[in-house]
Every structure is written in C-alpha cells, then in structure tokens.
Amino acid sequence: MSGDPIYCREKHMNIQQNAKKPQVAIMNAVHDLPVLVARDKGYFKDEGLDIEFVTTPGMAQVTTSHLVQFDSVFERPLDSVYNDGGIDQYRMCEWGIMKRAVEADSSGLRKRKIVALGASMSKFAIVVAGNSQYYEPEMLKNQAIAVTPNNGSDFTTLKMMEGFLAQEHVKRTNAGSMLKRLEAVRDGKVAAASVMEPWISVAQKWGLRILIESHSTRSEAAGDDLDGPTLARMFRAQARAVELIEKDPTPFIHYFIRETGGLLEPHEFQAWRLLHAAPQPYTRERFDDTYNWTVKWNMTVPGATFENTVDNRAWN
C-alpha cells in the first residue's frame, strides 16, 4: 500500500539514489580554494551533499594552451560545459558572472542567476618588466595591458586603471594564459600584464615590477534547477573551509604551486595575498553599482534588473 511506512521510506531512498548529483566546476585555485578545501576535508559530505566536481581549463594553469579568442564568452570551455548541462554551479569574477547571467537568456542559452557573493577575494596585479620605463599606472596611457577579455583580469584591470586614466586611454589586449602574459612582458612584446596568484608570485620571482594590485571578489552562479537548501549547504561547507584557510593557508599552498608546473617553490608563494570570507547574499545595492559600472564600460547589455539576474534563494 502507498501509505505503508516501509514503502514510503524505500520510495524516498530510491528518489535520493536516482537524483542527479550537483555538478560543481573547479577551475583556478585563486577563485576556488574554499571549494577545493571543503571537498578534500569532507565538508560537503558533512552537509549531506554528494557532489560531482568537474575540472575545467583556466588561465592560471601552466598546462592551459587554450587562447581565448572567441567572439562570445559562451563558447569558452567552462561556459560551453555549463550550457550543455555538464555543470550546475560555478564561480568566477563578479563582472564575468554578471555578463553571463544578463546575456544568457537573450542569447537563448541555459539560464543562470547570481546566487551569492563568493568566498574568494582573488588578488590581481598589473606588472611590467623589471627594466621598464613604466613606474606608475598612469604611465600606461594608451599602452596595451594583457588580460583575459571579459574575465576577472580584464574587469579588475579597468577598476584599477580608471582612477588614473580616462576611459579611452585604457588599452587591453589578449596574450593568452597567465604564463604567456608574463613571458610577453619579459620579452618586451607587451607593456604590461594583469595576472592573479600564483602568477603574481612568479612575476616577483622573475624580477618583474608590480605597479598596482587589488582584490577582486568572486560571484557564484547556478541554474534554476539547483534549489536553495542545496546551495545553502554548499555555502556552509565553503564557509567552514574559509575559517580553516584564514587561520593558516600554508597547508593549502600546494594547490597554487601545482598550477605553475614547477615554476614556483612553496616558500616563494606570497600567501599573505590570500583573502577569503563566507559566501553571502548578493545585495540589490551591489547589483546596481556593479551592473551600472559594467554597462558603462560596454561590458554587457543594458536593461537587466536585480529580479531577473539575482536569486538569493540560499538565504530564503
């Protein structure tokens, strides 16, 4: 009988067994360290979550030969996997998530919403050659800075530079992965490059000059099929990992060293640049400020609203 308690219990177990595992993306350690630590320490399992972790290519890995030359961000590795249903939840720079959340629907692609302000305040820096004639950010007027277009290094570069130069004098170019950018600076092919850790530490090891650096917060994105309670458990696991990282990041440096393919020794990594906090709701005020700034730089299309872009269902 359908009302039998044993039948109901077995039916509930079958639903759990047949339920699709949440598929969570992992890319660069500087963005994903709390996820990596929560995974390896079993914090997601402690929350009752059975998650499939999907590794996608990132510009921080020394093994990434992929050059971002696509006209659409939605053709890039992480985005194409999401669009095909291969991942359900991911994080990247705040403005990158904003662009994708705003434009996916109008492009007829799988929808995604901003579901949290993320845990990683990733450090970016603009570097030049050690013998460069550039000593301050405003000296880069009309000089190309190597970035990943429409990603964290691009947006954070604009944030850092707009206090020094008028909008029309801030120039960016694509020189490939973080390693390729540093090589281009070292070899005099570009004036400057925007990189994140562990590549800021590599730049210092190589004797490059840091002109300016800044933290850049992640945003978390998810599809509509990932419910609020599941996201809440995921973010609690990340918050627990953040507490561990902030006490002492040393045990987790190996994630960054691996990305350099041997170019950096553990003692050469500048762990003091790491900064993390628990995921939190994405506020209307932050949306208004960030979205309007993004539109100003022609980084996304106008007309979006807080209601159709943000969903703080993990806290509802």
The predicted-structure confidence for 181-208, as pLDDT tens digits, reads as follows: 999 999 999 999 999 999 999 999 999 9
Mean pLDDT of the 116-131 span: 95
Note the pLDDT of residue 19: 58
Res. 57 pLDDT band, cuts 50 70 90: low
Confidence tier at 14 by pLDDT (50, 70, 90): very low
pLDDT in tens, 171-184: 999 988 889 999 99
Q: Which residues of 164-190 are buried (b: 16+ CB within 10 A; e: fewer)?
A: bbeeeebebbbbbbbbbbbbbbbeeeb
- Residue 58 — very low, low, confident or very high, per pLDDT cuts 50/70/90? low
Task: Tokens 């002109």: give the residue.
Answer: 211
Average pLDDT of span 118-137:
96
Q: What is the mean pLDDT of residues 125-153?
A: 94
Beta bridge partners of 113: 222
Q: With 90 as the cut, is the pLDDT of residue 291 above it?
A: yes
What's the rounded Cα separation, in Å, for the pair 192 and 133?
A: 11
**Eight-class DSSP state of 42:** T
Asked if residue 160 lies in contact with residue 212, where contact means CB atoms within 8 angstroms, the answer is yes
- pLDDT-based confidence at residue 17 (cuts at 50, 70, 90): very low
Mean pLDDT on 51-78: 62
- Residue from 311, 291, 297 nearest 102 by CA: 291
Percentage of the chain with pLDDT > 90? Answer: 67
The predicted-structure confidence for 292-311, as pLDDT tens digits, reads as follows 999 999 888 999 999 999 99
Residues 26-49 have a mean pLDDT of 94
DSSP states of 150-213: TSHHHHHHHHHHTTTS-GGG-EEEE--SHHHHHHHHHTTSSSEEEEETTHHHHHHHTTPEEEEE
Return the pLDDT at 76.
Answer: 67
Reported pTM? 0.87
The confidence score (pLDDT) of residue 80 equals 78
Q: How many CB atoms lie within 10 A of CB 142?
A: 10
Q: Mean pLDDT over residues 83-89, rounded? A: 87
pLDDT of residue 10: 41
Spatial CA neighbour of 150 closest among 221, 212, 98: 98
